[in-house]
Each structure stands twice: as C-alpha cells, then as structure tokens.
Amino acid sequence: MRLERRHFLAALAAMSSSNCSYASPSPKARSEYLAKAGETTSYLIAWTDFKSRYIQKDGRVVDNGNGGISHSEGQGYALVLAELAGDREIFDRVWNWTDKNLAQQNKALFIWRFDPNASDPLADPNNATDGDILIAWALGRAAARWQNSAFESHAAATRAAIAGDLVLARERLLLLPAAHGFVHEDRIVLNLSYYIWPALSEFAEREPKGPWTKIMEDGLWLLGQSRFGGHQLPSDWISYLDGKVTGPAPGWEPRFGFDAVRIPLYLGLSGLQGRAQHIIDFWRSYFVKGNIPPAWVDVKSGAMAEYALSYGASTYASLLAGVGTDVTAEVQHNYYSAVLNCFSRLLSRMA
C-alpha cells in the first residue's frame, strides 16, 4: 500500500530516531539546517579550497583524478556547494558552462561526460541521473535564495524530465541511473548512490503530488534488500528483477566501493543514517582500532582494497561512526575526495 506523504515522512523520522543519536526533522527543517551548515567556517574553508583547485574560470569543473574530464555530477556538486556557500559568482559561472555545454537539446537533462581531449568531447550523449538530480536540487535552492524565477523554471523542467524519463514503474518505482542502457530482459541495473536523499526530500516538499516520496520509500526498501556477503554491504551496482534485488549487477565489479560509500553520507544529510547502520558499524570496527576502512570490499569474495578510504570519505565515515573527525588519512588533492570533504563539513554541523 502506498503511504501518504505525511505518514511516510513521519515513519522516516521514527526509523531514524530509533537508530541514531538524533531524530530526522522535516525536509524543510533539514533544508534550513543545510543552509546554516554552509555558513560555518570549516565548510567555507573547504569550499574555498575546492573552487580554487577544481573550477576553471569558465565554470568547468575538472575531475583531475579521471583524466581532466568534466561530468554532470561534478557540475552538479559544484552548484550545490556554491549555493550553500552563498557564492553567487561561482554559481552563475558553473551554471552558465553547464547549460551551454551539457544541456540536452530535446529534454531538460544533461549529457553526462565532457572530455576536452577527445575529438568529440560529447561522444556519449546519455545522461547521468545523479548529475541531473544535483543540478535540479541546486537550481531550486538557488531560485529561493536569490529570488530567481529562471532558476526555478530550469529546476522544475529538470525535475519533470527526471520523473518522466528516469523513473521506471514496475513492482516499485525505480530510479534508473540513466535514460539508456540499464533496462535488460533479465535485469534492471540500479545504483543506490544515485538516490540523493536530501535532494529527493526537497523535491517532495516542492511537489507533494510528484513521485518523490514513493521513490524514497522504494529506495529504502532496495537498500534493505541489498546486503551482500559476510559484511552485509551493498554493491555499487545492483540487479533487480520481478520485485526482487537479485544481487550485484553483472558487468561491474561486485564491490562496495567508489559509488556506494556515498549512501550513508546522503542518508546522514537527511537524518536517516540509521538506515545505513550496518555500513557505519563496518566502518566503526576499523576506526575503534585506529585504522581507516578499506576503499572497497568485494561483497562476493570478501577481498578488500589494499588502500584506505579517501580523506573526504573517511572524514564523514568517522563522523557517522561517532569517533570524531581526527582521521589520519592523508589529504589528497583530488576532485572526488574534495567534494566528499565539503559534504563532510556540512554533516559535522548537522550531526
């Protein structure tokens, strides 16, 4: 039975309260907490470092750990972080480059990858759902902060495109990773790190008749079903068929890794980290011994990376594990770690 929105949000708060140190407030209150977190000194320091290293003068966000490419995810992250810092100059610069270079022509989604070194920088015109969600989230927040109707028009159009092109109604509402390439006869491939919980909560607040509450409800169910191997961890990519999660998705390494480590972060930013308690407990088992958790775990074989979580990931992992913020990981000047570090500073204010 589909839950009414008010009942679902109340249930989320209750579940979070029973599994963590603080209860989950309403999406509106959570949004306001995020805004206040963006005003803290630690966040502004992290943001200033990020923008100086990874955002070009033209507004392109450079992924220096991936050959210097740009992608809709990176542009979306920068937009979210700029809005939270109240940095209108950088926000406009990043948005103008994104709109000019990545906007699809036939719908309000964004091309996922831009490679400046290729003869055709936009060779793959497919989108990436997490990038689209981040961009729509940032634009909606920016519209409210700076009273800009054009931003809200773009945000609403992208939310509509996500709902229309990226949500698949089967036994449950499934959030596809992209418009093309993930629906097969024998499986539907999903990525739970694309469920950006604080964004989806704000979408539901703005559009109570939209699919967002049901997407969140079913996303939590998917997470609960995606517990693999001895440590009961989700893999980056999972397979779904006929109402069931069937395991890690074929074609990808069966790892709890680069993608899935963001799941507890996004849940934590929404006050729902109790739903990832099994992941947090796994991380805590390392921190309490003075170690940093491995960067990835093969959920089938049990093999683990010989290197640790990045500085950014280990920072929020230690916060969620309740062991403080004094991680000993080396600070990497790496785009992805820097993004996660910025979000960690938001989480430290909210926890």
| Residue 84 domain flag | yes
Evaluate whether residue 291 is within a structural domain.
no
In a domain, 207, yes or no: yes
In a domain, 47, yes or no: yes
The predicted pLDDT at position 70 comes to: 98
Residues annotated as catalytic are 130
In sequence order, what DSSP letters do the residues of 144-200 get, joined into one string?
Answer: HHHT-HHHHHHHHHHHHHHHHHSEEESSSEEE-SSSSS-B-SS-EEE-GGG--HHHH
Terminal C-alpha separation, the chain: 33
Where do we find the tokens 């308690």?
277
Neighbouring CB atoms inside 10 A of 276's CB total 25
Whether residue 309 lies inside any domain: the answer is no
Residue 247's CATH number: 1.50.10.10
What's the Rg (C-alpha) of the chain?
19
For 259, residues 6+ apart whose C-beta sits below 8 A from its C-beta are 191, 193, 236, 237
In whole angstroms, how far apart are CA 235 and each of 40, 244, 260, 299? 34, 15, 6, 7
Range of the domain at 46: 5-273
* Per-residue confidence (pLDDT) for residue 17, from 0 to 100: 39
- 102, part of any domain: yes
Spatial neighbors of 31 by CB under 8 A, at least 6 apart, are 141, 198, 201, 202, 205
Q: Is residue 301 part of a domain?
A: no
Calpha distance 245→238 (Å, rounded): 7
Q: Which residues on neighbouring strands pair with residue 238, listed in sequence order? A: 190, 248
Residue 23 has a pLDDT of: 38
Q: Which two tokens stand for residue 278?
A: 């099994």
How much is the pLDDT for 115? 98
Q: How many domains is the chain built from?
A: 1
Nearest 5°: CA angle at 13, between 270 and 271?
20
Q: Does 230 reside within a domain?
A: yes
pLDDT in tens, the chain (351 residues): 333 444 444 444 444 433 433 334 577 787 888 888 899 999 999 999 999 999 999 999 999 999 999 999 999 999 999 999 999 999 999 999 999 999 999 999 999 999 999 999 999 999 999 999 999 999 999 999 999 999 999 999 999 999 999 999 999 999 999 999 999 999 999 999 999 999 999 999 999 999 999 999 999 999 999 999 999 999 999 999 999 999 999 999 999 999 999 999 999 999 999 999 999 999 999 999 999 999 999 999 999 999 999 999 999 999 999 986 556 666 778 999 999 999 999 987 665
